Every structure is written in C-alpha cells, then in structure tokens.
Amino acid sequence: MKITDIKAREILDSRGNPTLEVSMMNDKGQSVVFGVPSGASTGEKEALERRDGDINRYNGMGVKNCVDEIENNLKEGLMRIPLGDQSEFDGALATFDPSEKKEKLGANTMLGLSGAYLKLSALSSGQKLWQYISEISKSGPSLPRIYANLINGGKHAPGLDIQEVMVVPKETRPSVAVEQIVSFRRELAKKLSEEYGESSLLIGDEGGFVPQNARHAKVLAIFSSIEGDFEIALDVAASSFYENGKYHFEGKDVTAEELGGWYQANSNNILSVEDPFEEHDSESFANLASNASFFVIGDDLTVTSATLIDEFATKSAISGVIIKPNQIGTISETLAAVAAAQASDVKIIVSHRSGETNDDFIADLACGIGAFGIKIGAPVRGERVAKYNRLLQIEKEGL
C-alpha cells in the first residue's frame, strides 16, 4: 500500500500559537492527520522547532515555512516510500536533515510527517494504532497510570515554583481512574477555594488550578487530605528557577543539597519527582535517586534521547524517564528512546506538552509501548480531554 498525498497546514495550539498539522492519504482513500505539540519548559538538548521568524506574523512563531518545505520539497520523495516501514520513512527524513537537533527541517516538521506516516501505516494494516505501535516496538501493550496535573506553576502559570502537582490513581483502568480524578478535582477545588479564595480556581496551561501565595508543603498537605487510592507526583522543572549555582525556591536561594532535603522531608505519598534539579546536575539526580523512596524522573536531563537515557540510567541518576516525541523528532527515534528505557528497566512516562493540539496520539503511544504512566494534564480543557477520552476508548477496544 502506498501514500497518494501529503498536505500540511498551520493550525493553533492550546496556547494560541501556530503549530503544524500534517495529513496523509493512501491508495484506498483512507486519510489521517497528525497535530504537532509544542513545549514551554524545554531541555537544552531538545531538538529544535522551526519557526518563520517573521515578527509581523504571530510574533515570529508562524510555521508557514514548514508547510512550504513539506509540500514543495519533501512530499514527492516521501510518497515513494511504501507504507509499513517506519524506519525507512524516518531514515529518508534524516537524509534531508541529519543534524542532531534538527536545525534544518525542525523537529516539528519531522514529527508531523513521521507521526502521520505511523498513523496511516496502522490504518492501512487494519490494526488499532496502539496495537500497531506494540507490534513495531516489540512491546507488550498495557494501560498506563494517569498523571493528572491539577496544580500548575513554574512556566505554566504564575504562583508556585514547582511546575506541576499531579494526582496519580493506582487504578489503571481508565473507566475507574478518570472518574477518580474528576472526583478528586472537585474536592480539591473546594479545599483550595476555602484556603486561598476563588481566584485559586483559575487554570493554567495544562488545566490545573493556580493558587497564589501558596506554599508547596501546604498544597501537598491539601492533596493528602483528600480520600482516595492515589499517589502524588511532582514535575519540579528545577532548571526554570536555577541561576548562578542556586535555586530560587519559595523566595530564597537554596543549594541542591537543601532542595534535595526538602523533597525528602515532603515525600509522604509521593510516587515520583521529575527534574528535581537543573539539567546539568546529574550528580544531584544520582544522590537523590540513591536515597529516595520515590522515582526520580528525567525529562530536561534526558530529552527522549536513547543515548542520554542509557547514560543516566547507567549512572543511576534516574529511575524513570519522560517520553515526548517532539523532543527528538521522529517516531523511530522515540521508539529507540523507549527501547533504551526498557533495557535499563526505568519507568516510562509518556507526556503531552503545554502547547497541545486535539491529537490524541500519545494515548495510543503510552498503551502500545506498555508505559508505566501518561501525563495528560487536567480533565477540563479540550486538548487534554481528548487524551482522556481516547484512553477510555482504548479500554473499550479490549486492552
């Protein structure tokens, strides 16, 4: 089966910025679309997005050059590749841009094409997307635990230094876990309103509440006061408040050792802590991981790179890793990162980005590779709800 058409267009993400959507059709008349997300909190070693830079359009954030690149330069050659061979397709993309950080095409251009090709290959095979991903990744499919970001801070909203406070039901069946998250969120809203006023119920980039003048320990205490079979997860994104060798945390400068002590002192019911230190301080990651009762998760540290995941897992700096396809550029490279994590026996958590689209691909990815968890934000914004609803559908499909 073959590709008969490839189109691209500029759409808006959940922050109102332009992003890329790629559509692809096969010779049966079947078609798919893939919307590319965009992150605000990004690692230094992430693959780069391509933006137009025209300050008169979207303040330079447009992606018309990506659209033109696909339709005028890439389309003809890529359409010659038969469906069903992800490595060949992604290898062809790499010939157009072999750079490690995707400086020429941009990770957004490459992921849009690579993701659309994956979806169309699955559709052409007659399989569900998660089934096809399981097959090509040689992974056992399973339902992940849902990481629901119910408090936003850091680069996602004003207020807390820690970027995300998440509730994680122990139940993996979406039909149960989603209901638990919604119920938890209602109770959380009541408690935050009582403690910080109605303004705390405003929401950030990922749909979480935004309490002002709150202390992290108090927020964690409020989470723990709500009944339910769940754990708590943090995405600290510590690079965002690190400068000149210190972390500016809760209004004062602290050392890595002091910050690590805070995590340990507040570890009750904590399942995992993501990016607890800035991305160059792997030694502090390792020190925390060797003593912590929770999983230490790499994101800015590892940026969905098989090489970096292997390196920091070998150094015992991480016990889990975030997988974000747009950090690396293609589906093949994403699955290589997954394989590296599986080989090192570290937990895999597939993640959305703060600038999301309504594409629900990551739900199929998490289920197909048998990920430990999936980060999808709060169940209140359309681009996040799309992922919740897809998980519910996948459960109905028999996983």
Q: What is the pLDDT of residues 314-331, one digit of tens each?
A: 999 999 999 999 999 999
**Which position among 46, 69, 206, 231 bears the catalytic label?**
206
Residue 301 CA to residue 275 CA, distance in Å, equals 7
Q: Which two tokens stand for residue 364?
A: 């199929």
Cα 237 from chain centre:
13
* Angle (deg, nearest 10), helices 361-368 and 382-396: 40
Stretch 119-144: mean pLDDT: 98
Active site residue 206: yes
Q: Which residues contact 292 (CB under 8 A, 6 or more apart)?
A: 263, 264, 267, 273
Confidence label for 185 from pLDDT (cuts 50, 70 and 90): very high
Question: Does residue 41 surpass a pLDDT of 70?
Answer: no
Ranges of CATH 3.20.20.120 domains, the chain: 137-396
Percent of the chain with pLDDT over 70: 100
DSSP-assigned states of every residue in 168-214: EES---HHHHHHHHHHHHHHHHHHHHHHH-GGGG-B-TTS-B--TT-
- pLDDT, tens digit, for every residue of 88-104? 999 999 999 999 899 99
Q: How confident is the model at residue 157 (pLDDT cuts 50, 70, 90)?
A: confident
Q: Are 250 and 216 in contact (CB under 8 A)?
A: yes
Tell me if the domain spanning 3-126 has CATH number 3.30.9.10. no
How much is the average pLDDT of 351-357?
Answer: 96
Rounded to an integer, the average pLDDT of 353-376 is: 97
**Can you tell me the distance from the alpha carbon of 349 to that of 296, in angstroms, rounded to the nearest whole number?**
12
Catalytic residue among 324, 347, 375, 387: 324
What's residue 207's pLDDT?
94
Cα distance between residue 74 and residue 347, in whole Å: 36
Q: Could you report how far apart the first and last alpha carbons of the chain are, in Å? A: 27
- Strands 242-243 and 246-249: what pairing? antiparallel
- Name the residue among 322, 259, 324 with its Cα closest to residue 292: 259
- Whether the per-residue pLDDT at 119 is higher than 80: the answer is yes
User: Is the pLDDT score of 56 beyond 70?
Assistant: yes
Q: 324 an active-site residue? A: yes
Phi and psi, residue 294, nearest 5°: -115, 165
Task: For residues 246-254, give the mean pLDDT.
Answer: 95
Pairing of strands 270-274, 295-298: parallel
Residue whose entry in the numeric block shows the structure tokens 């965002």: 240
Tell me how far apart the alpha carbons of residues 66 and 56 are, in angstroms, rounded to a whole number: 17
CB 63 within 8 A of CB 50: yes
CA 117 distance to own-chain centroid: 20
172 phi and psi angles, rounded to 5 deg: -95, -15
* pLDDT confidence of residue 44: 87
With beta carbons less than 8 A apart as the criterion, state whether 17 and 25 touch: no
**At residue 175, does pLDDT exceed 70?**
yes
Residues of the chain with CATH 3.30.390.10: 3-126
Lateral strand order in the sheet of 18-26:
3-12, 18-26, 31-35
What mean pLDDT comes out for the span 15-20? 96
Mean pLDDT of the chain: 96
The HSE-up count of residue 214 (CA atoms within 13 Å, CB side) is 31
Mean pLDDT score, 220-241: 96
For 27-30, the CB contacts below 8 A with 24+ separation are 27/1, 27/2, 28/1, 28/124, 30/120, 30/123, 30/124
What stretches of the chain show up as alpha helix (H) in DSSP? 64-68, 75-78, 86-96, 107-125, 129-137, 174-196, 216-225, 256-265, 282-291, 306-314, 331-344, 361-368, 382-396
Per-residue pLDDT band for 392 (boundaries 50, 70, 90) equals very high
C-alpha triplet 22, 26, 28: angle, nearest 5°: 140
Each residue's pLDDT tens digit, 284-297: 999 999 999 999 99
pLDDT value of position 155: 82
Residue range 10-27: average pLDDT?
A: 97
Task: Say how many residues make up the chain.
Answer: 399
Residue 42: the pLDDT is: 74
Question: Which of 1.10.10.60, 1.10.10.10, 3.20.20.120, 3.20.20.80 is the CATH number of 137-396?
Answer: 3.20.20.120
